[in-house]
Amino acid sequence: MRILKKKGYYYLQHSFRKDGKVITREIYLGGKIPENLEEIREKFLQKHVKPGLYNQCEKITSGFQKEWGHYPESAKARDFQEIAIAFTYNTNSIEGSTITLEETREILQERIAPNKPLRDIKETEKHAGVFLNMLRKKEGLTGPLLSQWHQEIFGETKKDISGKYRDYRVRVGRHVPPDWQDIPKLMNGLFIFYRKNKNMHPVELSARMHYQFEAIHPFGDGNGRIGRLLMNHILWHSKYPVLIIEKKRRMAYYKALEKGEDKFVQYFFRTYLRAHKKYLK
């Protein structure tokens, strides 16, 4: 979505593909950019953009549930394991783990430990366990649940910070998260937002919750992994397939987080539709 200036006047324009064709929608803004541009932009998205995205996401969940419903329990168990391997490898690699995809498989399936740092091996085992438990058991999404995940994953490798909010300042690239003293209030606000917006489309809600959680950055380390578990909790328990942010696409993911919440939501929808395009055919 972009703002165009034509003969001294401004327009808000968005282009998208439908049935192989590029379709453009635009609205007139006037001789100057209005102060309530964000409000106008959101109404424009609700009318022209989001319905199309939502419809495509509905096709994804419908196709996924139809396919998943035909699987016997033994096949579902194998699929859970494969998803856990792929998700654990990618989410840990984004954060600097040295464990490869094949080593992740060996650790989780064969119980073979590679010649790699013990910390990386332990976090691979623990993360997969938390992820599988999250898929199999629907628990209410709360701050204590996120702290529990953090404790389970990092309890052996980062004992001094595991399971508790940070009590010091941090910097993440160019982003300076809020002061640690504000974290309890901000996390409470995050889950108020979640409860108030449970009727929001699940893909959009998972994107916004992930972005807001990462902006708060409540833990001393491991926020990316907890944030990606958080978004997949919302997706999976809303009957949508999970989203794996691949290591090879991590720079696009980082850049999207830097551009603000609405831009991240747009990125998230694009990534989700690309990841599950087989259900759109």
Residues with a known catalytic role:
217
Rounded to whole angstroms, how far apart are CA atoms 158 and 123? Answer: 10
145 is written with which tokens?
């649940």
Rounded to whole angstroms, the Cα distance separating 147 from 184 reads: 12
d(CA 70, CA 87): 23
**Contact (Cβ atoms closer than 8 angstroms) between residue 279 and residue 63:** yes
Q: Which of 202, 205, 250 is nearest to 225 (CA)?
A: 250
Cβ atoms within 10 Å of 247's Cβ, excluding its own: 16
The structure tokens listed for 60 are 């994804």
State the DSSP H helix or E strand holding residue 138, giving kind and residue range, or none if neither: none
Query: Are 190 and 211 within 8 A, CB to CB?
Result: no
The torsion angles phi and psi of 85, rounded to 5 degrees, stand at: -65, -50
Number of other residues whose CB lies within 10 A of the CB of residue 135: 18
Instruction: Specify the DSSP element, H or E, that contains 17.
Output: strand 9-18
